[in-house]
Chains A and B, each alone.
Chain A
């Protein structure tokens, strides 16, 4: 498999998205914005449509449009939660409609296909895609290393964070922009419709068995990287679409950890009841 250049590029892309997506996703889940990435995928589709029309490279164009859309969404969302919810929906529907419409305009001049962007086409990842992907991921990780603790602090308690001078709106915009960046990073691997799943499902799987934010993040990275590499490998050997394979594998891991988590919580509750009963008996005697 590694003898093929396209598979080397595919695996690099899978590793990068597998690593970055849950690191951003864990903050999205904590802030209850699990579906934000999904919406950003819709907005990025307009970027792909614009690139078809202009003849520019899809990844940088989608990146600019998605980040712009994410900032707009966050701006509206922070002004009014109710209006923000509606604005979010309008922007997302507009994003997907715009992407399809612009692609159809471009299709009158030359053959274009949105399908590979909607569901991923890892075998078509170019050398320049890999360069943009790695550079973008590096910037996203650096930003997260610098601002991550403030993002976490904010999502735990926004009042206490504000008292320490953390800028609530700016941090919200940063997280939203990072989600958009991640969507574009994963665009070629899992596709715009499924990329949000790589941000969320590994986190959901990991948090079933973790007791800390850091533990959840590390567990999610492991789950995500393993699923991404396994999905791409399955795509090569079994001729299955890698994007859906990655997401389904992650969902299987979630199902397993959910069962383990439930059993563990039951065991803990039972132990607490036993300890309480023992303490009562000891007190009575």
Chain B
């Protein structure tokens, strides 16, 4: 039976009493690639932050089907944020940036023992994203696209098998977009679970198994979830909210939760 990596039920997020995300019920299955789509401000990033516990939320969030377990303890989950959180006050090399993913409470007293393995994993991650030649540059000196590749290297260096990505391909040139999608495909083949907030579904279409479209203003923030049917995607890619509402009324999606 396929493992449910993430289950949310009636997830809700409020910011300053305004409902940012409401009634979101989603199941993410192991070994699948789920695309979170929707117009700007529809709550895709908020959803990622809520399920990771980075912002307060109401409702159920269950990782790995174990309600009592904190996902952080598993070290199986990694995030690729939209961009670097800010310019570092002290120079941080690309290698150090990627290595920072190894820091965790569980490795606090063991990191001296496996230094060589970590260095090898770091080099492999940098090689995968074609940044090994820039390992000793400061991460802030990289271009926007290169920084996104560095973020991707950091998320994958520890062997985490559940990767949440917030627009990982934005700003990356076409050649490296295809390269990164190839890496994602290899990770999926190896059993990884991917959740991708995206606007460039055309590049990702070949690997996406499941689509969750945000932007609902009615009973749920989700207007559609199910397979990436070309009809749905072509409407979604227009980025016009009225299409989403139209979809909500007329489509026959695989499943529309809480509607």
- Least CB distance from B55 to A in Å reads 10
Contact indicator A156/B79 (Cβ below 8 Å): no
Contact indicator A146/B109 (Cβ below 8 Å): yes
Contact indicator B85/A159 (Cβ below 8 Å): yes
**CB closest residue in chain B, given A32:** B89
Chain A residues with CB below 8 A from B105, complex form: 150, 165-167
* A45, B96: Cα distance in complex, Å: 38
Segment from A12-20, A63-71, A86-94, A211-219 that makes contact with B: A211-219
A-B contact count (CB 8 A): 106
Segment from B21-29, B70-78, B208-216 that makes contact with A: B70-78
| Interface 1/0 per residue, B111-123 and A, CB below 8 Å | 1000000000000
B69: CB under 8 A from chain A?
Answer: no
Which of A162, A207, A211 is in CB contact (< 8 Å) with B54? A162
**Given contacts A212-B92, A212-B96, A216-B91, A160 and B102 within 8 Å (CB-CB):** no
Which of B72, B84, B90 is in CB contact (< 8 Å) with A164? B72
A residues 133-168 with Cβ under 8 Å of B?
146-147, 149-150, 152-153, 155-167
B residues 163-183 with Cβ under 8 Å of A?
none
Contact indicator B154/A160 (Cβ below 8 Å): yes
Q: How many residues of A contact B (CB 8 A)?
A: 33
Contact indicator A211/B136 (Cβ below 8 Å): yes
**CB closest residue in chain A, given B111:** A149
- Least CB distance from B192 to A in Å reads 16
* A155, B139: Cα distance in complex, Å: 14
Contact indicator A163/B103 (Cβ below 8 Å): no
B residues 26-57 with Cβ under 8 Å of A?
49, 52-54
- Least CB distance from A223 to B in Å reads 14
Q: Which positions in A face B, CB cutoff 8 Å? A: 26, 29-32, 146-147, 149-150, 152-153, 155-167, 203, 207, 210-216
Closest 5 CB pairs of A and B: A165-B72, A212-B93, A153-B103, A149-B103, A164-B104
